[in-house]
């Protein structure tokens, strides 16, 4: 609760302090830094201790939610691998990609847009991806407050809007692409916009009436609808994107081949293990799969269309 209160206070300051990006200001939108980023399970810095698997998780959801969702999953992997697990979360998707590039972590859990960037930048490889339960798909939701009179993306013109991260597919690329199809850019379409840092922060900002609209990950939205219905019930979806390739776990191309194979086997068989199945069901995951690089081609096409390549 204190964290949410701090988030609201910070947003209020920026909303009414006129430090948002205004029309015509190219890519100068405010990026809010939510001061709860230290999530490395007590570790102040990454170390190179032998027998430790180092995992980075992009800030698709805020740090506390990340630990709540994934700590048990990765502890399970550590038990099967007979290694300790250390988790770290950075403020941005780009910083997470850089950790993997520099060999500071062994595995990174990233959004689909961040994978496309990492693959193009240094050849990051797909390890696995969590397949959601059959009633859930991965796409972008454009949301507004429940009581808002806004019912379409067209009616968001001249309003305030929240993106998630500059590398986010569902939280930025898709809505930017959608606007481009109508001949607009965010700088001239919205009165002001921010980068919230995570999808749950964007959802809260809309639900609290601090922002008129936001683009968020459908899986995060549905997860919060189950676990925090009091928050999500204050928002509603006005547009849904096509389905995209799932947010994957990725590794550096120089990762030890045998370790990569073992990790894949653990993840792919997790749903067959009673304990693993229970842990997966808690966060609405059916099982892990190995995605194909071509699954992310629609994201590459959107990037090209909006000039991000």
User: pTM for this one?
Assistant: 0.84
Q: What angle do CA 294, 295, 296 make, to 5 degrees?
A: 85
Q: Establish if 69 belongs to a structural domain.
A: yes
Is residue 91 domain-shared with residue 176, that is, in the same domain?
no
Residues 140 and 127 in one domain: no
Instruction: Supply the DSSP symbol for 173.
Output: I
- Summarize pLDDT for 21-34 with one digit per residue, the tens: 443 333 444 444 44
What does the DSSP 8-state code read for residue 236? E
44 inside domain: no
Tell me the chain's radius of gyration from C-alpha atoms. Answer: 19
Q: How many independent structural domains does the chain possess? A: 2
Q: What are the residues whose beta carbons fall under 8 Å from the beta carbon of 17, sequence distance 6 or more?
A: none
Cα–Cα distance list, 240 to 65, 176, 232, 254, 299 (Å): 24, 14, 16, 37, 15
Has residue 46 been placed in a domain? no
Residue 66: CB partners within 8 Å, gap ≥ 6? 39, 57, 59, 60, 87, 89
pLDDT score of 282 = 87
* Out of 8-22, 131-145, 205-219, least confident range: 8-22
CATH (domain of 276): 3.40.190.10
Q: What is the pLDDT of residue 70?
A: 83
Of residues 29 and 80, the one with the higher pLDDT is 80
**Shared domain check, 259 and 200:** no
Between CA 220 and CA 232 the distance in angstroms is 10
How high does pLDDT run on average in the chain? 85
Residue 47 domain flag: no
Residues 170, 220 within the same domain: yes
**Last residue in a domain, options 214, 240, 266:** 240
Domain membership flag for residue 39: no
Q: Mean pLDDT lowest for which of 150-154, 194-198, 292-296, 305-309?
A: 305-309
pLDDT digits (tens, 9 = 90+) for 41-63: 333 334 445 689 999 988 776 65
213, 240, 267: which is the final residue of a domain? 240
In angstroms, rounded to a whole number, what is the distance separating the alpha carbons of residues 208 and 217?
18
Does residue 142 lie in a domain region? Answer: yes
Q: Is residue 273 part of a domain?
A: yes
Instruction: Answer yes or no: do 224 and 256 share one domain.
Output: no
Contact 74, 80 (CB under 8 A): no
In this structure, the answer to whether residues 121 and 268 fall within a common structural domain is yes
Do 151 and 62 belong to one domain?
A: no
Assigned domain for 81 exists? yes
> What was the pLDDT predicted at 291?
96
Q: Is the CB of residue 215 less than 8 Å from the CB of residue 170?
A: yes
**Do 228 and 177 belong together in one domain?**
yes
Determine the Cα–Cα distance for residues 55 and 259; give it in Å rounded to an integer: 14
Domain end residue (candidates: 240, 258, 277): 240
One domain, residues 183 and 235: yes
Claim to verify: residue 23 and residue 64 sit in the same structural domain: no
In percent, the amount of the chain with pLDDT more than 70 equals 81
Residue 58 and residue 173 in one domain: no
Q: Indicate whether 202 and 75 sit together in one domain.
A: no
- In this structure, the number of other CB atoms found within 10 A of the CB of residue 185 comes to 16
Asked whether the beta carbons of 259 and 52 are under 8 A apart, the reply is: no
- Are 54 and 234 spatial neighbours (Cβ–Cβ below 8 Å)? no
Full residue range of the structural domain in which residue 78 is found: 52-134+246-306
For 121-149, how does the pLDDT look when each residue is reduced to its tens digit (9 = 90+)? 999 999 999 999 877 889 999 999 999 99
Q: Under DSSP, is residue 172 helix (H, G, I), strand (E, B) or coil?
A: helix
């Amino acid at each position: 609760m204190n964290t949410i209160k701090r988030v609201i206070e910070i947003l209020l300051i920026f909303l009414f302090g006129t430090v948002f990006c205004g029309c015509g200001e190219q890519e100068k939108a405010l990026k809010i830094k939510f001061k709860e980023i230290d999530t490395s399970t007590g570790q102040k810095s990454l170390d190179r201790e032998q027998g430790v698997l180092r995992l980075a998780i992009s800030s698709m959801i805020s740090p506390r939610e990340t630990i709540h969702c994934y700590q048990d999953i990765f502890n399970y992997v550590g038990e099967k691998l007979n290694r300790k697990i250390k988790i770290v979360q950075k403020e941005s998707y780009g910083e997470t990609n850089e950790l993997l590039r520099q060999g500071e972590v062994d595995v990174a859990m990233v959004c689909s847009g961040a994978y496309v960037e990492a693959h193009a930048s240094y050849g990051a490889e797909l390890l696995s991806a969590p397949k959601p339960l059959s009633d859930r798909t991965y796409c972008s939701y454009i949301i507004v407050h429940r009581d808002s009179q806004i019912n379409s993306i067209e009616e968001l013109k001249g309003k305030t809007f929240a993106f998630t991260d500059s590398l986010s597919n569902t939280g930025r690329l898709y809505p930017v692409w959608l606007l481009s199809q109508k001949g607009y850019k965010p700088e001239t379409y919205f009165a002001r916009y921010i980068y919230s840092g995570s999808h749950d922060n964007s959802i809260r900002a809309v639900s609290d009436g601090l922002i008129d609209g936001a683009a968020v990950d459908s899986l995060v939205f549905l997860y919060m609808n189950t676990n925090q219905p009091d928050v999500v019930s204050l928002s509603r979806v006005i547009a849904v994107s096509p389905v995209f390739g799932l947010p994957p776990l990725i590794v550096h191309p120089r990762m030890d081949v045998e370790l990569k194979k073992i990790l894949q086997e653990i993840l792919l068989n997790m749903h067959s293990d009673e304990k693993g199945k229970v842990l997966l069901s808690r966060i609405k995951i059916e099982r892990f799969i190995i995605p194909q690089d071509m699954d992310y081609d629609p994201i590459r096409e959107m990037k090209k269309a909006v000039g991000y390549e």
